[in-house]
Amino acid sequence: AQTVTQSQPEMSVQEAETVTLSCTYDTSESNYYLFWYKQPPSRQMILVIRQEAYKQQNATENRFSVNFQKAAKSFSLKISDSQLGDTAMYFCAFSNNRKLIWGLGTSLAVNP
Amino acid sequence: GAGVSQTPSNKVTEKGKYVELRCDPISGHTALYWYRQSLGQGPEFLIYFQGTGAADDSGLPNDRFFAVRPEGSVSTLKIQRTERGDSAVYLCASSFGTGTEQYFGPGTRLTVT
């Protein structure tokens, strides 16, 4: 069975600084997708970034980038130039083309 | 265009009652997913549909939970004989086929008293 582990329940960062959120996963499959979702207090789950396992190049989306280490089964999210609006829960998720399997989340606070 | 919508946004019911939660996916999305998110937890998969049929219902916790998608668009999650442990946010998502990004609705917060 696939599992997703986020070992940092809470993190904080100063505005404009950089922060990295950790995620590890376990699977025996070779073809899969990894995601980071953001959930602000409004509850709306928002896709931040997506990585296909067959791609060696790390995905980037503006201030968000990932460090995907397939052999180590690690998928960390780096947020550069943190903004107050980045304050939210961040979830790492794994997909085998069907359902999403989620970590417990990391609560990120961006401080002014 | 319009995103995924869910109604009601909040539902309070008494233990033992029956509830229905509705999800209206993005137009044209063939796949629809239900997840349950308890307080302080990540979402937990319940069921997903490809078209009208349930492709995987392995996450439904017991036979009190049932979901339908009769015309391949709107879906209804039905919970019979609700229990206090059913209290959670129920999230719906849709995607244009499996393996692509899932777009989420705002969720329905169910409280069983």
Alpha carbon separation from B79 to B18, B105, B106 (Å, rounded): 6, 19, 19
Euclidean distance between CA atoms A76 and A78, whole angstroms: 7
Euclidean distance between CA atoms A86 and A93, whole angstroms: 18
The predicted structure's pLDDT at residue B40: 87
Is residue A89 over pLDDT 60?
Answer: yes
Distance from CA of A78 to the nearest CA of B (A): 20
Is-contact A22 B82, C-beta < 8 A?
no
What is the number of domains present in chain B? 1
* Closest-approach residue (CA) in chain B for A53: B99
Domain extent at residue B17 = 5-112
Is-contact B5 B24, C-beta < 8 A?
yes
- Read off the pLDDT of each residue in A38-55 and give the average, rounded to a whole number: 92
Would you state the CATH architecture of domain A3-111? Sandwich (2.60)
Q: Which of A43, A91, A95 to mutate to test the interface with B (most CBs of B within 10 A)?
A: A43
CATH number for the domain including B63?
2.60.40.10
pLDDT in tens, A27-36: 998 889 999 9
Owner of token pair 């044209």:
B28
The predicted structure's pLDDT at residue B99: 67
Euclidean distance between CA atoms B106 and B93, whole angstroms: 9
Spans of all domains in chain A? 3-111
Looking at beta carbons, which residues of chain B come within 8 Å of A99? Answer: 33, 45, 48, 56, 59
